[in-house]
A = this chain, B = another copy of it.
Amino acid sequence: MQTPRTAALLGASGYTGADLLRLGVRHPGLKFVALTANTHAGKPMASVYPHLAGAGLPDLVANEDVDFSGIDVVFCGLPHGTSQNLVARIIEHNPALRVIDMGADFRFRDPADYGPVYGDAHVAPDLQARAAYGLTEYNRDAIREAQIIACPGCYPTATLLALLPLVQAGAISTDDMIIDAKSGVSGAGRAPKQATLMAEAGESVAPYSVGVHRHAPEIEQEIGLAAGKKVAVNFTPHLIPMSRGELITAHVRLDKAENADAVRAVLREAYADEPFIRVAEKGVIPSTGHVRGSNYCVINVFDDRIPGRVIVIATIDNLVKGSAGQAIQNFNVAFGFPEATAIEALPLFP
């Protein structure tokens, strides 16, 4: 085993940051030497996340108090818009350092696409050329080389794992893709909001950001790239009364494939050697409970009552394969560790 790489985590007080630590502290090739959380600077990590007590982590500091000179890898769990600026400064300071960003700042291949979706123009467009889109299964070569790895959003991760091989194979049409998505509340973050209070989100289901969610253009970018043309998708997320987990129900039209069995066969072939992607047996319906707490993605396909259509269902843990787990998977790819290191745990059920 190699010498451990030294790591900083920026944004350690968010759920994705905390989950990166949960997994990362058991990684023999990772050593966290700096954790930041501006509003909690000075506190021990255990006072912010008691479940991490005893993990031997450094105290929280402010972003500006980190010495990046001896650091090999920076994980970013910051709100969108803040990484671009910070990463530019960090890289200038230590050009050898690599960045694995769990946020949205480097996900658009063309930085011009960032502004219309996130409200402010990209402030480090020149860096985009050094970034790889971090959907591990589809981009290992680029991830291995890139200085910045932009981990996909949680919804794009589940959606693209389900649909990309089908689009690439021409099995389904890119017209009228309806992606009806469901997610637990942890995706909304730890900052207190009325909508994610237990008394509001509990015993309830509701769509949100209908027609305007920021993950739709990201999905369209990657589907469009695979299809070789511009596409528009329906992406409709729903808030589900659970903490973790995400499931997408994609209602799509067949193209070359003739039915669900044929579509499943395409998936099975595409993922035959993938350690984290499981195409379920015919008839087995994926549930978020099948992947909770793990880096796995489970997918299956069903015939629709409407002729010429199928339903593709995929599920991941939004904080693991949808964020922190995929970040570690990308770290493993980028730094030459076995890809499953520290993320090999089986799902927690029940």
Cβ-defined contact, B350 with A251, below 8 A: no
Task: Report if A194 contacts B (CB, 8 A).
Answer: yes
Say how many copies of this protein the assembly contains: 4
Cβ B346 vs Cβ A26 within 8 A: yes
A200 close to chain B: CB less than 8 A: yes
Q: Does A83 contact B (CB under 8 A)?
A: no
Instruction: Give bound CA distance, A244 to B289, whole Å.
Output: 13
Task: Check A288 for interface membership: any CB of B closer than 8 A.
Answer: yes
Binds B, one of A49-57, A114-122, A163-171: A49-57
A210 to B310, CA, bound (A): 10
Q: State the CA gap A278–B18 with chains docked (Å).
A: 19
Measured between alpha carbons, how far is A49 from B285 in the docked complex, in Å?
A: 12
Q: Determine whether the beta carbon of A206 is less than 8 Å from that of B50.
A: no
- B211–A311 touching, CB < 8 Å: yes
Residues on B with C-beta less than 8 A from A201 are 198
Interface residues of chain A, those whose CB is within 8 Å of chain B, are: 15, 18, 21-22, 25-26, 49-55, 176, 178, 180, 182, 184-186, 188, 190, 192-194, 196-208, 210-211, 216, 232-236, 238, 240-245, 247, 249, 251, 278, 280, 284-294, 296, 298, 302-307, 309, 311, 313, 344-350
Q: Which of B235, B251, B305, B350 is in CB contact (< 8 Å) with A180? A: B251
The 7 closest A-B pairs by CB, nearest first: A206-B287, A192-B192, A199-B350, A204-B289, A51-B347, A180-B180, A51-B349
Which residue in B22, B55, B202, B303 is a CB contact (below 8 Å) of A243?
Answer: B202
Known pairs A186-B199, A198-B202, A234-B251 / 12 extra A-B pairs, C-beta < 8 Å: A50-B280, A50-B284, A51-B347, A176-B306, A198-B200, A200-B350, A205-B240, A206-B285, A211-B304, A234-B311, A236-B311, A241-B242
Known: A306-B176, A346-B22. A203 touches B50 (CB 8 A): no
> Once the chains bind, are A243 and B190 in contact (CB under 8 Å)?
no
Q: Is there an interface contact between B240 and A349, defined as CB atoms closer than 8 Å?
A: no
Which chain B residues lie closer than 8 Å to A18 at the CB level?
Answer: 349
Would you call B203 and A242 a contact (CB within 8 A)?
A: yes
Contact between B232 and A305, CB atoms less than 8 A apart = yes
Given A303-B211, A306-B232, residue A202 in contact with residue B350 (CB < 8 A): yes
A288 to B291, CA, bound (A): 21
Which residues of chain B are within 8 angstroms of A344 by Cβ–Cβ distance? 26
**B350 touching A206 by the CB < 8 A rule?**
no
A289 pairs with B206, CB closer than 8 A: yes
- Determine which of B54, B204, B251 lies in contact with A288 in the assembled complex, contact meaning CB atoms within 8 Å: B204
Taking a contact as CB atoms under 8 Å apart, the answer to whether A345 and B345 are in contact is yes
* Contacts A/B (CB < 8 Å), 30 sampled: A50-B298, A51-B290, A51-B348, A51-B349, A53-B280, A53-B290, A178-B178, A184-B203, A192-B197, A196-B197, A196-B199, A200-B289, A202-B241, A204-B292, A205-B240, A205-B242, A206-B286, A207-B249, A207-B311, A211-B302, A234-B251, A234-B304, A234-B305, A234-B311, A238-B249, A241-B241, A243-B350, A244-B350, A292-B348, A345-B345
Q: Are B247 and A311 in contact, CB atoms less than 8 angstroms apart?
A: no
User: For A185, what are the chain B residues with a Cβ–Cβ distance below 8 Å?
Assistant: 197-199, 202
Q: List the B side residues contacting A184 at CB < 8 Å.
A: 199, 203
Q: Provide the bound-state CA to CA distance between A280 and B178, in Å.
A: 24
Closest chain B residue to A238 by CB distance? Answer: B182
Residues B204 and A287 in contact, CB atoms below 8 Å apart: yes
